[in-house]
Structure 1
Amino acid sequence: MKITKLTKGISLKRPLEGGNEEQLQVVRQVLADVRAQGDAAVRAYTEKWDGFTLQELRVSTEEIEQGAKSLDPQLYADLKEAAHNIRFYHEQQKRSGYRVQLANGSWLGQRITPLDAVGLYVPGGTAAYPSSVLMNVIPALVAGVKRIVLTSPAGRDGQLPTGVLAAAHILGITEIYKIGGAQAIAALAYGTESIVPVDKITGPGNIFVALAKREVFGEVAIDMIAGPSEIAILADDTAFADEVAADLLSQAEHDALACAILVTTSERLAEEVAQEVEKQVAALPREKVARASIAHFGAIYIADTMADAVEAINSLAPEHLEIMTEQAEQVAEQIRHAGAIFVGRYSSEPVGDYFAGTNHVLPTNSTARFASGLNVDDFVKKTSMVYYSEQTWANHAPKIARLARMEGLEGHARAVESRGWRKGE
């Protein structure tokens, strides 16, 4: 990894997203075809891109149960424990509405209502991501969503991975479809003969999935447009180089566009981490992917002071941030922008990916400056409520009418004034 002296105002390297015009045109065609042709278009694109003929879009109850039974019992138990942890964490996020009493019997309030139906996309095809099932479904369950739909691309055998089916079985999810890519997003957004449309779509996917989500936004809600994975590590001389290198590579192995950055105040650590990364990457099964990530979007920056290092991290606003320093909790308090923060030596990023309970669907590409990770609030909507008594109306109607006329909206003014005439007021 390249070692660079951190200077003020530096723009830390990170991957870009957005796709190209050719990819966007492909996505738009898929969306149009599914909207017009429904199941037929879904089947045609599945055969074209996933390599098998889709007989039944929906996964049967028997397939779900068989998938759960086929998973190694210890793994099934691990998934159940992870699900428990994730549910516990997200239960803390639940909010109820409120009502504030005003004078004369009037009140203001907010009602929080779960969404009716959500579609959760789980990546698949060449890999299995049961953790994505847990991370997307559980906040929706905690929020109280009644209809939860899963879509995930099947393998060339036409089957979903047993881990994905087992995770769905643990959570009681039975509406699952063997479709992926832009066609899955289109089916969830527009509906087909087999799939009733949903109100919101969440979950990560490849560039075609991301572009499709962006295109259907407005027809339905979406969680975010997630780019390639990112990790930043903020470390000082107390950190261990082999552990830092391993954590950097944990994200580099995701994708050739993944971003892995170390910001440190220790020149010694910087040198040792660079050596450790080269040593460890050679032993990774996904060596080629990790090497490409490190080569293009990996970097080590040496800061003069911890304050400079913190400033650089806040500028980057990474998806994942590990803090491996003395007084790590105090340093964490200075971080304003990060999707998730992992504090201390034993809080390696995969702890959050799988087991601790925090959500791993997180903002990327510096959007942590204004965005949050997936949470219970993503699956509810908030409705404001107003009740004015007659006396409160009488006290404030002239003020409201004056404000309306100031904006040139006579109809607004007359609407609020109209209440009094029946009593001769």
Structure 2
Amino acid sequence: MSDDTTATSPGPADSEGFDHREKIYAARWVIAMAIVLAALGVVSGHVSILAAAVAIVAVLVAVMLSARRPAIRARHAAQGAAGAALWPDTGMKMVVDALPDPCFIVDRRGITRYANRAARERFGKVRPGDPISFRLRPPALLEALDRVIADGGTERIEWSEKVPTERWLEAHIGPVQTVEDGREKGARRADGFILVAVRDLTEQRRLERMRADFVANASHELRTPLASLTGFIETLQGPAREDKDARERFLGIMLEQAGRMRRLIDDLLSLSRIELRAHVRPQAEIDLGSVIRDTVQALEPLAAKLDVEIRTDLPQKPLTILGDRDEMAEVFQNIVENALKYGASGKYIDISVYSEIGPQNAPWWAVKVKDYGPGIEAAHLPRLTERFYRVDVATSREMKGTGLGLAIVKHILTRHRARLDIESTVGEGACFYVRIPAVVRELANV
């Protein structure tokens, strides 16, 4: 219930009676003249009393009818104004339509009077005249709306939804009022509307959770080898001080743990550096084929150690792209090295490059890295590029992985406006596709 008060105004019947009296008063001299003339006619004997009375009544009826039309117009105008107050005006709708978030305009009964395009796209068909609770059902939101209607203040609330997927939302609720013509500046209408603006916080919460998980995982990954180093140092300072065999063994383990920490720190610094430049697309022209050949040559010793043959099928013409050579080398270093380590049982790694048509009919290069190892279960594929995500933690650490390799690949490709696609069938190996825009002139003769 609102605390605003308004002055009472006469009802339609009172207004009409007032107009009649005003018209009679304005026509008093005409009525008086008619009465005088009627009296003279009766006195002179030219007019009967009945005829004189009929003439006076006719004059009064004419005056009353002339007063009725303005009263009807006034009543219709009042009814039109009352009806207009139920719906937002065009200006208010245009402002709400310009907002990017879903917005609802409701009256003080909680009835939806308008919903912008974002609200219709986000919440489906919204019919003006329906209660807002038909589309927004959280009790906390409806309670906040009631408080705004009662007190005229503003409210901000957050809530989460679990179905069909987990989402976080917030709503800002406040009165939307207009200054009435004829009132002093600052006077507000008592029958204004309420604006409910809804914002989706899901992506923000997801990033916050990823950041928290990243800090927790990075701390854990660093703490584990650090604890190992500390333990071995304490052992060497104590019981194993004079044990030469134990000292040699412990120093070897310490060196391995220190190397693990170094790799993790290097990957963290690399990831941080890439993220700082994520919005700047490289503009230098590089030969993608040359990058792949150099990567294969650098990994030949590891392939020989694992008894794996790397087979390549690359066009002889330059495969020119816009990119950072060092970053693209890091991409293929990570992908091919993973194929060697986790797909070694297949004995072969195939690397091929071909042209294809990308988005908006633009030419792209596609690089395919195929191994014939055990493959990856489908449930793991969407999460492979998450930081510190591992399909098998023990195997990853045995292979000296940090869990950041594919996350770095994803960020580098995003900076290059490229993408990574992964396909795998358990028992048949995995296939990684790097798709990147080509420099157009290089495809003219391919």
> TM-score if structure 2 supplies the norm length?
0.22
Q: Which has the higher contact order (CA 8 A, sep 6+)?
A: 1
Q: Which has the larger radius of gyration?
A: 2
Q: 1 or 2, which has the higher helix percentage?
A: 2
